[in-house]
A and B are shown apart, each in its own frame.
Chain A
Amino acid sequence: MKFFSHKTLLATLVLAGASLQMLGCKPKGSQAAISGDAALKTYVAPGKYDEFYDFVSGGFSGQMSVYGLPSGRLLRVIPVFSVDPEKGYGYSEESKAMLSTSNGFIPWDDLHHIALSETNGLHDGRWVFANANNTPRIARVDLKTFRTVEIIEIPNSAGNHSSPFITENSEYVVAGTRFSIPLGDNTDVPISSYKQNFKGTVSFINIDKNSGEMNLAFQILTPGVNFDLARAGKGKSHGWVFFSCYNSEKANTLLEVNASQKDKDFIMAVNWKKAEEYLKAGKGVKKTVKYTHNQYDEKKHSATSTTMNEVLVLDPKDCPDMVYFMPCPKSPHGCDTDPTGEYIVGSGKLAATIPVFSFTKIQKAIADKNFDGTYDDIPVLKYDAVLHGEVQKPGLGPLHTEFDDQGNAYTSFFVSSEIVKWNIKDLKVLDRVPTYYSIGHLSVPGGPTRKPWGKYVIAYNKITKDRYLPTGPELSQSAQLYDISGDKMKLLLDFPTIGEPHYGEAIPAELVMKNSQKIYKIEENAHPAAAKGDNYTRVERKGNEVHVYMTAIRSHFTPDNIEGVKLGETVYFHVTNLEQDWDIPHGFAIKGANNAELLIMPGETQTLKWVPEKAGVFPFYCTDFCSALHQEMQGYIRVSAPGSNVPIIYGTGTIKAAADYKATDGKTK
């Protein structure tokens, strides 16, 4: 390095300051930060339940994890955007369509944020939404079954980061594009033509009040910035959504430097009630796009994927008073609305203060046209006119803020690795506590709602380092639980997480568990290949395919002996679990299948596709320990040479040819 530019020098100083601050914050030993009663406060006795469910992003695992709080016990990993061989998700014939996109079947994604459904600004425990960052999608998980039941792809988007933040009656979840991209028919343009050709969009996905079904209602075309996070207004600010954005410089290379030039970037305020009026007035322009909409039918136990071809786009140029920009210092990340809906907290990643905006002042500035010019023809509100105030010297690298029920805010600081508690009204810092290490998001149970439950704040950390036994170059991802019931925050617990725990939302257990479903009723099973009783089990040849309609119950399969399959044929095992008892799934795995297992819930039917590679006898068995005779739950299928004349015979106990079943039972199955 021959010379320091002014900028590099500055950055070095900032970093040096940061490490000094970190040293200053770091206690002598990790034990020093633990108060004496931490164990008591997180101990949940065997057989007892946790007080909260915590739904946590699985980051680059593509899944969502569910923890109990305050114990930090892992309760469930819900497969969402990535295949999960443990549960057959993405491997069973029924679930493959869930991962279908306009780019074909995609087995992986990067799940960042969580949004629990809301009614009247409160968590209602019905659904939880999550975003796929890489191939833009939003998923809905049904909290009756803890299963992904719907995934909708977002067109005109790239890097669906600013998502899936929700409005206070679950009218919409939003999806802002992280990358601006060339849109329309010709996207083959020079990257250097960014400023002319690259545009952003924010999407509003409507949620059906009763079914939860998602529908891409409209998109708003925006200048070519990068959208980061968002929050909907609530109470007085209901009808608005606030999106943080960076790269107002519109840089297309070395954003680390080039997108940090300006003193201020923006929070974009969108009046979606106004947008609805413009839609009604016919201002939406139909654009041809291609995206998929995947739904899981819990009666048919099957997913279907539909290709959609159109989206309504609103251009702020044609829709005045719909979109405004508010200046916000230095690459804002979080833009969080407080429980009253009056305050919007911006968090400039590189800023030394936390600006707090006032919704009342925003409305006044709009009425008074108190603008600081325009940005791509969109009015920019005057910073001083909309500012409630700034929290001075809160820490380094503010990222994200949540709230308790006492009028306090909790902001995470990545660079100085701490949580800072401050008062929303007078903007005074009240307390700070170190995190281990480099916290990203944080969450307070009910923190994004009108009535936070308070009690805890959870830190979702980016770096783990020395917190657990070493496990090679990569360590467990990590979260931490803090008690916020007193004046001072107290660290209670470290707990490991999967993937990268970007964000999580916690909800009182009672709101979810009262709706929890225990079985799928076999009477309601509408899967076309279900065998609802042993009389319906059979083996059928259809052209080049052999379909096995099989039942499973403790502890045998029917049929468990199958012969007559010929090499070159594809075998489909349709397995129905006849159990109607809670927590009695059966598994199904067959030797050599280049696939995964099936894990079939009580009353459910699932299908495994198997292409035999050679002639012979292949065993299959139940993978999920189900009874004392689970090990006996097994069977054989015989595959013969293509020209052989081995007839199809099958059965359990008694092995017969298909024709004999008909003769003895007097009915066609």
Chain B
Amino acid sequence: MQIIRPLTICLLSGTLLAVACSEGVKKDEKPVDVQEMTKNQPETHGAELKESDVVVSNPLNTEWVSAGKGIYEMKCQSCHRLTGEKLVGPGWKDVTKRRKPVWIMNMITNVDMMLEKDPDAQKLLEQCMVRMPNQNLAKEDARKVLEFMRNNDGEK
């Protein structure tokens, strides 16, 4: 995440030169170096998840399915149908068969990073033309949404 953070900030500030961000900033005599803070803006997204960070198992956790449904209705339903129908974003039917769990989790919790470097995410942006919003889900919440997706795809 330490590597990702400056990249994301560059994206936010519209600067694409990663070098500009990673250059050392001269410290002056002041105790607070605000220039340094441009690099240290707290990240609104979670850390990038590795494959080993996401464990799926059966049977499904029914509490997570139900909590995931609630989060879906509040934060996702406006753009994603539970069928295969594309609305703003792709329909969720069979998404867990198309994508690895870690891909889905990163797409939810770390969308700017995914749009920056993941070819499949970039392809989706080209199709949908709307950047998927960061809906500010904690990792735990995203995991519950994933469980709800698995349920939607017929897993038991």
Q: State the A residues within 8 Å of B (CB).
A: 46-51, 508-510, 513, 518-519, 521-523, 532-535, 551, 553-556, 558, 578-582, 584, 627-629, 653
The 9 closest A-B pairs by CB, nearest first: A580-B136, A533-B73, A533-B74, A581-B134, A580-B135, A553-B78, A47-B13, A510-B32, A627-B130
Whether B47 sits at the interface, judged by CB under 8 Å, is: no
Q: State the B residues within 8 Å of A (CB).
A: 13-15, 20, 30, 32, 34-35, 37-38, 44, 73-75, 77-79, 87-88, 129-131, 133-137
Which residue of chain B has the shortest Cβ distance to A485 in the bound complex?
A: B29
Check if A558 sits within 8 Å of B37, measured CB to CB. Answer: no
User: When chains A and B are docked, how far (Å) is the Cα of A133 from the Cα of B130?
Assistant: 47
Return 25 A-B CB contacts under 8 Å, by A number: A46-B15, A47-B14, A48-B35, A48-B38, A49-B38, A51-B30, A51-B32, A508-B34, A509-B37, A510-B37, A521-B136, A532-B74, A533-B77, A534-B73, A534-B78, A551-B78, A553-B78, A553-B88, A554-B130, A555-B88, A556-B88, A578-B74, A580-B135, A627-B130, A628-B130
Q: Smallest CB–CB gap between A429 and chain B, Å?
A: 28
Q: Smallest CB–CB gap between B105 and chain A, Å?
A: 16
Check if B44 sits within 8 Å of A50, measured CB to CB. Answer: no
Check if A50 sits within 8 Å of B74, measured CB to CB. Answer: no
Residues of B within 8 A of A48 (CB): 35, 38
User: When chains A and B are docked, how far (Å) is the Cα of A551 from the Cα of B88?
Assistant: 14
Check if B34 sits within 8 Å of A555, measured CB to CB. Answer: no
User: When chains A and B are docked, how far (Å) is the Cα of A627 from the Cα of B44?
Assistant: 19
User: When chains A and B are docked, how far (Å) is the Cα of A48 from the Cα of B25?
Assistant: 11
User: When chains A and B are docked, how far (Å) is the Cα of A653 from the Cα of B81?
Assistant: 12
Residues of B within 8 A of A582 (CB): 44, 134
Check if B34 sits within 8 Å of A510, measured CB to CB. Answer: yes
Check if A51 sits within 8 Å of B34, measured CB to CB. Answer: yes
User: When chains A and B are docked, how far (Å) is the Cα of A51 from the Cα of B27?
Assistant: 13
Check if B131 sits within 8 Å of A627, measured CB to CB. Answer: yes
Are A522 and B129 CB-contacts (below 8 A) given A51-B30, A581-B136, A653-B87? no
Which residue of chain B has the shortest Cβ distance to A579 in the bound complex?
A: B133
User: When chains A and B are docked, how far (Å) is the Cα of A579 from the Cα of B78?
Assistant: 10
User: When chains A and B are docked, how far (Å) is the Cα of A48 from the Cα of B39?
Assistant: 9
Residues of A within 8 A of B38 (CB): 47-49
Are A580 and B130 CB-contacts (below 8 A) given A51-B30, A653-B87? no
Check if B133 sits within 8 Å of A581, measured CB to CB. Answer: yes
Check if A523 sits within 8 Å of B32, measured CB to CB. Answer: no
Which residue of chain B has the shortest Cβ distance to A532 in the bound complex?
A: B74
Q: Smallest CB–CB gap between B65 and chain A, Å?
A: 17
Residues of B within 8 A of A509 (CB): 32, 34, 37
User: When chains A and B are docked, how far (Å) is the Cα of A51 from the Cα of B38?
Assistant: 11
Residues of B within 8 A of A510 (CB): 32, 34, 37
Residues of B within 8 A of A627 (CB): 129-131
Residues of A within 8 A of B74 (CB): 522-523, 532-533, 578
Residues of A within 8 A of B130 (CB): 554-555, 627-629
Residues of A within 8 A of B88 (CB): 553-556
Check if A628 sits within 8 Å of B34, measured CB to CB. Answer: no
Which residue of chain A has the shortest Cβ distance to B141 in the bound complex?
A: A523
Residues of A within 8 A of B129 (CB): 627-629
Residues of B within 8 A of A555 (CB): 88, 130
User: When chains A and B are docked, how far (Å) is the Cα of A441 from the Cα of B141?
Assistant: 52
Check if A522 sits within 8 Å of B75, measured CB to CB. Answer: yes
User: When chains A and B are docked, how far (Å) is the Cα of A533 from the Cα of B78?
Assistant: 7
Check if A581 sits within 8 Å of B32, measured CB to CB. Answer: no
Check if A554 sits within 8 Å of B133, measured CB to CB. Answer: yes
User: When chains A and B are docked, how far (Å) is the Cα of A551 from the Cα of B74?
Assistant: 10
**Considering residues B15, B73, B75, B87, which has the most beta carbons from chain A within 10 angstroms of its beta carbon?**
B75
Question: Which of A513, A551, A580 lies in contact with B134, CB distance below 8 A?
Answer: A580
Which residue of chain B has the shortest Cβ distance to A552 in the bound complex?
A: B78
User: When chains A and B are docked, how far (Å) is the Cα of A47 from the Cα of B135?
Assistant: 25
User: When chains A and B are docked, how far (Å) is the Cα of A315 from the Cα of B35?
Assistant: 53
User: When chains A and B are docked, how far (Å) is the Cα of A345 from the Cα of B30?
Assistant: 29
Which residue of chain A has the shortest Cβ distance to B132 in the bound complex?
A: A554
